[in-house]
Amino acid sequence: MKALRKYEISITFVLSEPICNEYLSIGWSCNEMSEEYIISISDVSKTFNHIPALRGVNLDIQPGIFGLIGPNGAGKTTLLRISLGLIRPDTGLVKILGLDSQKHSVKIREEIGVLHEHPYYPKNLRVSEFLDWVKNMRSESREIGELLDLVDLSGAENKKIGALSAGMYQRLGLAQALCGEPKIIFLDEPTSNLDVTGRDKIAKLILQLHNEIGVSFFISSHILSELERVCHSVGFLREGVLVDSGKTREIIEKHTKGWYRVLTSDPQALLKILEGEPMFKDCSTSDANAITVRIGEEKMETIRSKVENLVKGSGILLYGIDRASSLEEVYRRVMIDEEIQ
């Protein structure tokens, strides 16, 4: 009974997550998407000093929020820089809004906003001075006050850029990317310098901007929880190869079908017990308080009662069982497991 009560708590917690509302809004805007590709990457390869950074990447991205996932050095930033015309690919073609990223990079940059990883903005300028400068380059743009409101930087307009905190600096990056009504915003590791609260704010802001003004995002990141939260579609890049891509929920379903996480007080002991059972395949300890198992097409209730029966009398506490359906699990399957194989 004690264990069962914990299941209930766990389920209640998941349902009460405020993120649920955001998922609903994603679902709504997914339905609104057109079938046109805003970014089209065809057979793009790039080598740096004989080391391949990208190997024949093909990717078509529809309007919405796209997340490019991969470990450090996977080629995410290289792909982004090629897309922006900052570097040339050895082979292949990237089209942004139907335009060749190498030949029409200036025209493309009129239509997009960019936030680089570790961006550099003139530190001696004031926030308002800098945004005013960015605004002057764009034919149409929101007022500076509105931009600052959007990124939660109101009141910082007279601060010198050099005096901003890491979070404020990042939000300034987002504000400058939003200048000029961009159709797509490219974000390279947008939350890498931020704490949990800062990440949360940026994630919410991205969703809000997409829902309110319809701007599409191309986000390169290795922070999976944040991408899962905001992205309509994702792509996995490993050692320059696009391993998989598609709608976020479809990708998660595809790679985690039949996988479950069992939250427990003693993962090692539970692992030993479950490894002996033919029903539980590919058991592994996924973290300090859980193990991951592949079970198949069983109902959750059946699995739960089976695990409870197995641990009865062993002193192992069960805190919950849930589908291992997260991008983190997909990452494990797609990136780490395949690498080992």
Partner 1 sequence: MKKYNEIIQLELKHLYRVPFLETMIATLVFACLIGVVQASTRGPELNLYSFSDYNSTHMIGITLEGFQEMTISGFVLGPTYGMVFIVFLIPMMIAASISRGFENGLHKTLLSYPFSRKEVLLCKIVIPVIALALPCLATSFVATSILTPGYLDLITISIFSLAFIAVCFAIASVSAVIALLSKNSLITSSIGVLIWYAILFVYVPPPDVPLLYGILNPMSTSIAFIMDSGGAIQLSEVLLSLVGCLIMAVLLILIADRVFKHTEI
Q: Which is nearer to partner 1, 122 or 296 (CB)?
A: 122
Q: Taking CA 228 as the corner, what is the angle to CA 70 and CA 214, rounded to the nearest 5 degrees? A: 105
SS3 208: helix
Q: Of these, 23, 37, 121, 319, which contacts partner 1 (CB under 8 A)?
A: 121
For 46, residues 6+ apart whose C-beta sits below 8 A from its C-beta are: 52, 53, 54, 75, 78, 82, 87, 89, 90, 240
Q: Which is nearer to partner 1, 179 or 316 (CB)?
A: 179
For 277, residues 6+ apart whose C-beta sits below 8 A from its C-beta are: 306, 310
In whole angstroms, what is the distance from residue 66 CA to residue 230 CA? 9
CB of 110 to partner 1, least distance (A): 4
Q: Is residue 124 at the binding interface for partner 1, with CB under 8 A as the rule?
A: yes
CB 207 within 8 A of CB 187: no
In whole angstroms, what is the distance from residue 130 CA to residue 144 CA? 10
> Which stretch, 126-134, 214-222, 319-327, 329-337, contacts partner 1 (CB under 8 A)?
126-134
Binding mask 62-91 for partner 1 (x = CB under 8 A): -------------------x--xxxxx---
Q: Is residue 107 at the binding interface for partner 1, with CB under 8 A as the rule?
A: yes
Q: Which is nearer to partner 1, 27 or 122 (CB)?
A: 122
Q: Which is nearer to partner 1, 63 or 85 (CB)?
A: 85
Q: Is residue 97 at the binding interface for partner 1, with CB under 8 A as the rule?
A: no
User: Beta 290-294 vs 281-287: how paired, if at all?
Assistant: antiparallel
Q: Of these, 56, 92, 119, 198, which contacts partner 1 (CB under 8 A)?
A: 119
> Which stretch, 13-21, 124-132, 219-227, 238-246, contacts partner 1 (CB under 8 A)?
124-132
For residues 240, 40, 192, 120, the Cα torsion angle rounded to the nearest 10 degrees is: 110
Q: Of these, 22, 129, 200, 328, which contacts partner 1 (CB under 8 A)?
A: 129
CB 71 within 8 A of CB 335: yes
CB 235 within 8 A of CB 54: no
Q: Is residue 125 at the binding interface for partner 1, with CB under 8 A as the rule?
A: yes
For 133, residues 6+ apart whose C-beta sits below 8 A from its C-beta are: 125
In whole angstroms, what is the distance from residue 68 CA to residue 188 CA? 9
CB of 148 to partner 1, least distance (A): 19
CB of 119 to partner 1, least distance (A): 6
Q: Is residue 106 at the binding interface for partner 1, with CB under 8 A as the rule?
A: yes
> Which stretch, 92-100, 129-137, 230-238, 321-329, contacts partner 1 (CB under 8 A)?
129-137
Q: Find residue 51's DSSP bridge partners.
A: 48
CB of 105 to partner 1, least distance (A): 8
Q: Is residue 120 at the binding interface for partner 1, with CB under 8 A as the rule?
A: yes
Q: Which residue has the tokens 């704490």?
A: 195
Q: Which is nearer to partner 1, 73 or 122 (CB)?
A: 122
Q: Is residue 110 at the binding interface for partner 1, with CB under 8 A as the rule?
A: yes
Q: Of these, 22, 47, 100, 133, which contacts partner 1 (CB under 8 A)?
A: 133
In whole angstroms, what is the distance from residue 93 CA to residue 78 CA? 14
Q: How many residues bind partner 1 (CB under 8 A)?
A: 26
Q: Is residue 149 at the binding interface for partner 1, with CB under 8 A as the rule?
A: no
Q: Which is nearer to partner 1, 110 or 298 (CB)?
A: 110
In the β-sheet with 290-294, what is the strand arrangement from edge to edge? 281-287, 290-294, 259-264, 318-323
Chain contacts with partner 1 (rule: CB under 8 A): 81, 84-88, 105-107, 109-110, 113-114, 116, 118-122, 124-125, 129, 133-134, 136-137
